Amino acid sequence: MGSNGPLDGVLVVDLSRALAGPHAAMMLGDLGARVIKIENPDGGDDTRSWGPPFVGPDDSISTYFLSCNRNKESVTLDLKSDFGKETLRKLIARADVLVENFRPGVLDRLGFSTDRLHELNARLVVLSITGFGHDGPEGGRAGYDQIAQGEAGLMSLTGPSADEPTRVGVPIGDLLAGMYGAYGVVAALHERNETGRGRVVRTSLLAAIVGVHAFQGTRYTVAHEVPHASGNHHPSIAPYGLFHCADGTLQISVGSEALWRRFIAAFPSLDRPEFGSNPQRVRAREAVIAAVDQVFAGWNLADLLPKLAEIGIPAGEVRTLDRVYEWDQTRSQGLMVDVEHSVLGSITLPGPPLRFDANPFAGGRPVNDAPPTLGEHTDTVLAWLEEPQQVADPE
């Protein structure tokens, strides 16, 4: 592992904006890659204006932008100008990875088709993220997360009932596309070690959401059932979901018959013939929910959670984000990183979700860099591009 993580020495040129591409590039940066983010001089990445909340002098810095651009350098370029195109050409010639989430055809019109990219650098891995795919009858559609959540079926599975389709509380289509994209890039870099050539990795918000349909997908493709939202309770396991006690809510997962036997031994009033097996309980889900709620109504949360832990029933609270970030377990996992922002000073960000054995640093980097201000690194990167490239001595 390199001193800055497993992708130390990899150069990523990030042409993307908003969330899916920037999230993928940030994941690569978290793993030690050098990420140069190219932004339009007129305002930069769209997310720089997404808020509130805004922070800093004159409320000028978007916390949305801060969430998806750590471990990057910002360079401003007008890619429609000759200078911008020539600078991008130089970057591509040195890069290992190019990340873009333009609508299909935009890069071609700028003069950087796939063929041209590989003429400039045969070893370049290109990650292309679109809304609904790069081809097909609707391949040219713009991709926005909530629209994709609806079109890809996720909203029909989420919410209190089939009549109230609900979006996930984060832009999950964008985030998943970024994750799948980074995963594809790492695979392509590994393949390049054998072939010496890069390739294009493609994914989309549609593909990413369909890719996580999991058992809901096979309910339709194999069993020909159309799944619908079932609120805060699992469609195939009972009891599994959100329940109420005397002073709050908690979630439990009785995911096996062995766990059910432990559960009813501790709460004998639930030992009923009609609840004898998981298929029976799923068919009688409403009655199961009511019965468990009735039992839990006599317990306070502070007493019930230890009781469930004692009998081995998986359970947990429903935390607000302040309590998540203040939780000792969250902190113990390195899920927050402190960075020095050039305007805001010391700030804390949600951190990389990976750690590597024998390395205490989240993502493998000893130091995480704050999200950049617009064009913060333009001069240093342009100067670097003028330096002669070092060519490795042949072995």
Catalytically active residues are 174
Quote the CA–CA distance of 349 and 296 in Å, as a whole number: 37
Q: How far apart are CA 341 and CA 66, in angstroms?
A: 10
Which residues are CB-contacts of 127 (< 8 A; sequence separation ≥ 6)?
Answer: 21, 24, 97, 98, 99, 100, 181, 182, 184, 185, 200, 201, 202, 203
DSSP assigned state of 233: B
Sheet of strand 11-14, all strands in order from the earlier edge strand to the far edge? 73-76, 34-39, 11-14, 97-100, 125-130, 200-204
Residue in the structure block whose two tokens are 């989420």: 158
- What is the helix (H) or strand (E) element at residue 75, kind and residue range? strand 73-76
CA distance between the termini of the chain: 22
Q: What is the DSSP letter of 355?
A: B
Cα–Cα dist 144/178, whole Å: 13
Helices (H), 170-274: 172-195, 205-210, 214-221, 257-266
| Separation of alpha carbons 318 and 78, rounded Å | 46
Rounded Cα distance, 372 and 381, in Å: 13
∠ CA 165-168-169, rounded to 5°: 125
CB 10 within 8 A of CB 32: yes
Using H for helix, E for strand and C for coil, what is the string for 254-307? CCCHHHHHHHHHHCHHHCCHHHCCHHHHHHCHHHHHHHHHHHHCCCCHHHHHHH
